[in-house]
Structure 1
């Protein structure tokens, strides 16, 4: 049903994305993964709690210290972050954000079929999460080599809440997985969700 609705042209987006602007990344660092996580947490907490600049700065400090303890901070700033470390960072920063947001927060990874390169199931997952007002974190390979947040989906494109200011990418320019040859190779999707205001919907 979700896929049919999306293909029919129904646009689904996060109300929170209209209520705030994404935090902007520094031009000389590779910390887009950390910015994406914090931006997604800000979207998830709204409207129950507006995470302030002070809150976001504290989460950023926590995230950089986490990377430093892993002896990865210099490498990440220079070259970017591997996906396995990004997932660990998302779990850690979400846990750190809970007392500030006043709600339980968790990370739900997208469970792809093994060796799948089809985007249909991924777009179903994104649509399902956005219908429940859950932002979706994702890696954009090939053209951008970038981590970002998906805040909307339509039949034609994915709408981004992005630290570099990217607004959207076209669905027909997307493939799934590291071997995808399309302009955008999507990978390592995960949603951030909370117990407020509605339970997480079932998927599959």
Structure 2
């Protein structure tokens, strides 16, 4: 807080909804075998932000954030751009086709998938305390560790739910989260 005026400065990222772009860069950077350079990150960021224009006006888009469908399209674009550098392709699939009956079912899907050493992570959509896209780095029976653009470190399962009223302060979007995984670029092999 500014001692002189008693007013707090707005932090970068607090007024924009670009966490989806950051989650793509962080997710791909986390699972690629070749480390992404700062220059690569900047180039990918600019490229993806340039693609956000959907006719609403860039200010509205930046403030409102990215829809699940557009996030998926941007993941595909980012994968194609990175393909020549890594010889691997980032694939995506929706975590769940319908909302599961309880948090345990969704938590198990994430737990079975996430293994960054094997090139697998999740871009997790959430609301409640945060309206946010984040990246899951690891998951245990009680907690998930995050690789997050806003400084979130972890989510405790006991504080998560799938719907408003589930008792958790974090609502996880089971049908609007992407499982990411690396695979060999078969286009180059053929």
SS at match of 1:77: helix
Cα drift, residue 129 of structure 1 = 1.5
- 2: distance between equivalents of 1:158 and 1:44? 16
1:40 aligns to 2:27 (yes or no): yes
From the superposition, tell whether residues 78 and 162 of structure 1 become closer, same or farther in structure 2 (CA, over 3 Å): same
The alignment of Structure 1 onto Structure 2 pairs a total of residues equal to 168
Q: Residue 154 of structure 1 is aligned with which of 140, 147, 155?
A: 140
Q: Deviations over 1:61-112 (max 9, x none)?
A: 11111102x2354323112222222222222222222223331221122124
Q: Identify unmatched segments of 5+ residues in structure 2.
A: 1-11, 185-190
Cα drift, residue 177 of structure 1 = 4.9
Q: How does 1:100-139 map onto structure 2 within 5 Å?
A: 100-112=85-97, 114-131=98-115, 132-139=118-125
Cα drift, residue 180 of structure 1 = 5.1
- 2: distance between equivalents of 1:125 and 1:39? 21
8 Å CA contact retained: 1:140, 1:147: yes
Q: Relative contact order (C-alpha < 8 Å, sep 6+): which is higher? A: 1
Match of 1:57 in 2: 42
TM-score w.r.t. length of structure 2: 0.79
Cα drift, residue 117 of structure 1 = 4.2
TM-score w.r.t. length of structure 1: 0.74
Answer with 1 or 2: which has the greater Rg. 2
